[in-house]
């Protein structure tokens, strides 16, 4: 396999499937099947999942909820998704550990870098919840930070599109996909691959990012095997 240790970033919205909010059990099962197939190769796998299907910060300017409070609510939403994913993975016979950046002793471990690495070495899937534990940071930033901390080989950003395009493929039929991009070119072109904090963290630590379509069965496994899936940003 091409990679020994990976960090998979999933969006909370992806768990909605065809629903308007919440968790679609069919989509959750699909992700579980994809992850199990990859884990059976022996790769060490960590996961960060967003919370946008449950709560996405303060969405209106006149909200009575302030930004910091809203961000903490978003962090708790990621823990809910992480718990759902953990339950599905364990139901499939996989060993997992849920680690939270916010102390919630009754449902998960507190994030400690050395302990997380040890879990990975023992073959457990580690799910990181609650983002970075700080307001004003996205789950993309959390994914980049955790990937650097555990010395992952790559960040796999699972989305609903199969990579980075010259233009929006849903609007421009002539848009073409990049098979690879440098960090510099991606920044010059203004591609919204991750927020700037997350992107800079990857660039400064020479951590490659692969943007790919997580909803297409088999894509995750093909990436682990080294096939040209999605867009590699390096």
| pLDDT for residue 58 | 57
Give the C-alpha distances (Å, rounded to integers) separating 108 from 56, 115, 210, 229. Answer: 22, 13, 29, 33
Judged by average pLDDT, the poorest of 78-87, 129-138, 170-179, 224-233 is: 170-179
The span from the CA of 29 to the CA of 92, in Å, is: 9
Q: Which domain holds residue 36?
A: 5-233
E strand or H helix that includes residue 110: strand 109-110
The confidence band for 37, taking pLDDT boundaries of 50, 70 and 90, is very high
The confidence band for 82, taking pLDDT boundaries of 50, 70 and 90, is very high
DSSP secondary structure, 130-149, as one string: STTSSTT--HHHHHHHHHHH
- Based on the structure, what is the number of domains in the chain? 1
Q: Please report which residue ranges of 92-128 form alpha helices under DSSP H.
A: 113-121
pTM (predicted TM-score): 0.93
The confidence band for 59, taking pLDDT boundaries of 50, 70 and 90, is low
Would you state the structure tokens that stand for residue 178, as one six-digit string? 């990049």
- pLDDT-above-70 percentage for the chain: 97
Pairing verdict, β 209-213 and 180-181 = unpaired
Question: For the chain, how many helices (H) and strands (E)?
Answer: 7, 9
Question: CATH number of the domain that 68 lies in?
Answer: 3.40.1160.10
| pLDDT for residue 57 | 60
DSSP, collapsed to helix, strand or coil, labels residue 75 as helix
| pLDDT for residue 60 | 53
Tens digit of pLDDT for each residue in 121-173? 999 999 999 999 999 999 999 999 999 999 999 999 998 888 888 877 778 88
Tens digit of pLDDT for each residue in 142-155? 999 999 999 999 99
């Amino acid at each position: 396999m091409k990679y020994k240790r990976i960090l998979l970033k999933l969006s909370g919205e992806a768990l909605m499937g065809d629903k308007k909010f919440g968790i679609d059990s069919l989509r959750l099962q699909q992700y579980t099947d994809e992850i199990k197939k990859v884990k059976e190769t022996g790769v060490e796998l960590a996961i960060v999942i967003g919370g946008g299907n449950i709560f996405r910060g303060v969405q209106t300017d006149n909200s009575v909820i302030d930004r910091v409070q809203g961000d903490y609510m978003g962090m708790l939403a990621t823990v809910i998704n992480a718990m759902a994913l953990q339950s599905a993975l364990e139901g499939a016979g996989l060993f997992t550990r849920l680690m939270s950046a916010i102390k919630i002793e009754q449902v998960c471990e507190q994030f400690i870098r050395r302990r997380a690495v040890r879990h990975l070495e023992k073959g457990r899937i580690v799910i990181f919840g609650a983002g970075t534990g700080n307001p004003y940071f996205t789950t993309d930033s959390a994914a980049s930070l955790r990937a650097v901390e555990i010395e992952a080989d790559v960040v796999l950003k699972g989305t609903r599109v199969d990579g980075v395009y010259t233009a929006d493929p849903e609007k421009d039929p002539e848009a073409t996909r990049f098979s690879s991009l440098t960090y510099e070119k991606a920044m010059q072109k203004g591609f919204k691959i991750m927020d700037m904090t997350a992107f800079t963290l990857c660039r400064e630590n020479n951590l490659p990012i692969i943007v790919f379509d997580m909803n297409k069965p088999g894509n995750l496994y093909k990436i682990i095997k080294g096939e040209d899936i999605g867009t590699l940003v390096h």
